[in-house]
Structure 1
Amino acid sequence: MKLVIIAGGKGTRLGLKDIPKPMVQVGNIPLLEHQIRLA
């Protein structure tokens, strides 16, 4: 294993009820994908 991405949280402080925080989109790309691209 070369990489571990710690992703979690419900995103309640962001006002989200249905979307986990790592899946919040920034520029139409989920935060998790941004992290994977930068790794």
Structure 2
Amino acid sequence: MKIRHSLKSVKARHKDCRIVRRKGRVYVINKTNPRFKARQG
């Protein structure tokens, strides 16, 4: 599954963002600042 550029730009907004795969979906999660969240798929 390709990770779209929009998710990579969300990841670049904060140093603690992580890209996680769960059940075929790709999430961007951030434990320290929960405002930075995204989902694809």
Which TM class, normalised by the smaller chain length?
under 0.3
Structure in which a larger fraction of residues adopt strand: 2
What TM-score does the superposition give when structure 2 sets the normalisation length? 0.24
Structure in which a larger fraction of residues adopt helix: 1
